[in-house]
Amino acid sequence: MRSKIFRSIKFLLILISTFCFFTLQTSNCSAQEVILKLHIRGVAESKVSLMPLYGANAYKTILEKSGIKNGETDSIIISNIDLPGEFVLRFDYKENETSSPYPCEKYIIINDQDLELWVNPMYCNNNDSTYFQKDEKENTMFAHFNQENNKRKEKLSLLQYFLLNYDDIQSEFYQQGIEEYEKRRNNYNQWLKEQTTKYNDLFISHIFQFHYVPQIDFKGDESARMQSVLSHYFDGIDFNDTFLLHTKDLTNFITTYVNMYASTAKTQEELDSLYPLIGKTAIEKARLGHPKVYGWMVDYFYKGYESINMPAGIEMLETYLNDPNCLTTKRQAIEKRLAGIKTLTAGTLAPDFTIKDNDGKDILFSKYKTNSKYKLILFYSADCGHCNELVNQLYTWWKQSSNQKLIEVFALSLDETETEIAAWGNTISQLQGWKHKRCEGGINSSEANAYFILSVPVMFLVDTKTNKICAIPDNMDDLLLFLKDNS
């Protein structure tokens, strides 16, 4: 399978209660520049880092303070560009002067209120050792919400488990269970709506919606129940709410939807045909909302299709590029990828580039002489896990002498950083017999641009005699299947 797919439908139906949306009223959140004052105690010293959990800088450090000593106070100023949102506050602390730094992380929400945090980094998630000022709003209210929410959802979850596992769905008792569940579900969702209205001036009100519980057709079989959940997955969502983009839960929500939908496929072929439909369904829902949310949805599926090298999915996105209301940040990347899909197909000439021959002299790829039937171009990075997996599979297969007569491999590295280049040097020393080249500029190199490369690994199988592309295999299985069919 191309992605991790949940196979337990019962588990998925229970899981969905955590990630669904309901309609939000307009919030008055208005983020300003915020000062986060930190009082460090209980350790010799600590470095403090702030990382957003959403957006382009998700899980990347945007602010940092080093060497804050025990008993000292320091401040971090957060720009309104990054607000409001969910963050991780990381402490790399030394318990003693001679200790090695040890990490600890605390999840926090920052909106428009200046914050003051007394923290012992060793116990940064212990309320007795780490706490905000008394009038702090967002994090305090969110803690209260979670506590009450867990109590209210507990009984609902038990009823759901009973209904999903009871063996006589035609009985009057089962029908009574459904009626009780629906009553409690409606009451629970009403409470969530009331909480959203009550705290609509807080950013956290936008997070409440992820706990909405959708309806389930308990009278049907497992397949019917799944279809019911998928049909109601987006019920009530306010796609006009741009603060959804400031939550980490939006990505989790859509990923869960993709995995649930994908779990209905019974074969790999069916799954491949399903992925573009999954994206189109979600994007069409978002299309009715704010252009930023609409654009985010296109971005999400583009990144997903690109990561699994799915041209059919990327081609599906072309329609939305012509819509001026779609504020995608990936327009150029998608257009480039679409150009590659249309330009580089089986039967077209492989774009030329220089490579070293056996004497170390530069020669055009098209002029390179080999006794092998095919030349395989492999774009990869030595610092990429998926690439290394493919490289290991390919090299193990290629080392058989009969396969070396069939294919000559041209491994083009897109490694750029010092760490990546070092990893590349170590990798090529273990791949004796292949032709190697590190493309200057990486993903922006002339070689990558000629082949419209936006992510790796990517393979092109080229006929040695005609220098025409024979196939663009997605993986090792596709490559071997082509070779078998054309032997």
Q: What is the 3-state secondary structure (H, E, C) of 244-294?
A: HHHCCHHHHHHHHHHHHHHCCCCCHHHHHHHHHHHHHHHHHHHHCCCHHHH
Residues 174 and 82 in one domain: no
Nearest partner of 233 among 278, 191, 271, 266, judged by Cα: 278
Q: Is residue 348 part of a domain?
A: no
Residues 375 and 275 in one domain: no
Residues 234 and 328 in one domain: yes
Q: Is residue 377 part of a domain?
A: yes
DSSP category for residue 220: S
Residue 390's alpha-carbon distances to 344, 429, 456, in angstroms, are 22, 17, 10
* HEC readout, 5-42: CCCCHHHHHHHHHHHECCCCCCCCCCCCCEEEEEEECC
Residues 211 and 259 in one domain: yes
374-380 and 407-413 as β-strands: parallel, antiparallel, unpaired? parallel
- Please enumerate in sequence order all residues whose Cβ is within 8 A of that of 77, keeping only pairs 6 or more positions apart, or say none: 33, 34, 35, 36, 63
- Please enumerate in sequence order all residues whose Cβ is within 8 A of that of 16, keeping only pairs 6 or more positions apart, or say none: 214, 229, 233, 256, 260
34-40 and 115-119 as β-strands: parallel, antiparallel, unpaired? parallel
Report the C-alpha gap between 304 and 151 in whole angstroms: 36
pLDDT in tens, the chain (487 residues): 444 333 344 444 444 444 443 333 334 444 469 999 999 999 999 999 999 999 989 999 999 999 999 999 999 999 999 999 999 999 999 999 999 999 999 999 999 999 999 999 999 999 999 999 999 999 999 999 999 999 999 989 999 999 988 989 899 999 999 999 999 999 999 999 999 999 999 999 999 988 999 888 898 888 888 999 999 999 878 899 999 999 999 999 999 999 999 999 999 889 989 999 999 999 999 999 999 999 999 999 999 998 887 889 999 999 999 999 999 999 998 998 898 888 889 999 999 999 998 888 999 999 999 999 999 999 999 988 889 999 999 999 999 988 999 999 999 999 999 999 999 999 999 999 999 999 999 988 999 989 988 888 999 999 999 999 999 998 999 999 999 999 7
* Amino acid letter for position 356: K
Owning domain of residue 453 = 354-485
Q: Is residue 437 part of a domain?
A: yes
Q: What is the pLDDT of residue 303?
A: 92
Residues 176 and 257 in one domain: yes
Q: What is the pLDDT of residue 359?
A: 85
Q: Which of 341, 375, 400 corresponds to the end of one domain?
A: 341
- Tell how far CA 167 is from the center of its chain: 38
Q: Is residue 2 part of a domain?
A: no
Residues 237 and 322 in one domain: yes
Residues 273 and 314 in one domain: yes
The pTM assigned to this predicted structure is 0.77
120: domain CATH number is 2.60.40.180
475: domain CATH number is 3.40.30.10
Q: Which of 320, 341, 362 corresponds to the end of one domain?
A: 341
Q: Is residue 346 part of a domain?
A: no
The tally of domains found in the chain comes to 3
Residue 286's alpha-carbon distances to 64, 220, 277, 336, in angstroms, are 36, 29, 14, 24
Residues 161 and 304 in one domain: yes
Q: What is the pLDDT of residue 17?
A: 45
Q: Which of 136, 165, 182 corresponds to the end of one domain?
A: 136
Residues 281 and 407 in one domain: no
Q: Is residue 4 part of a domain?
A: no
- Residue 145 structure tokens: 């919400």
Residues 124 and 245 in one domain: no
Q: Is residue 225 part of a domain?
A: yes
Residues 93 and 174 in one domain: no
Q: Is residue 51 part of a domain?
A: yes
Residues 108 and 169 in one domain: no
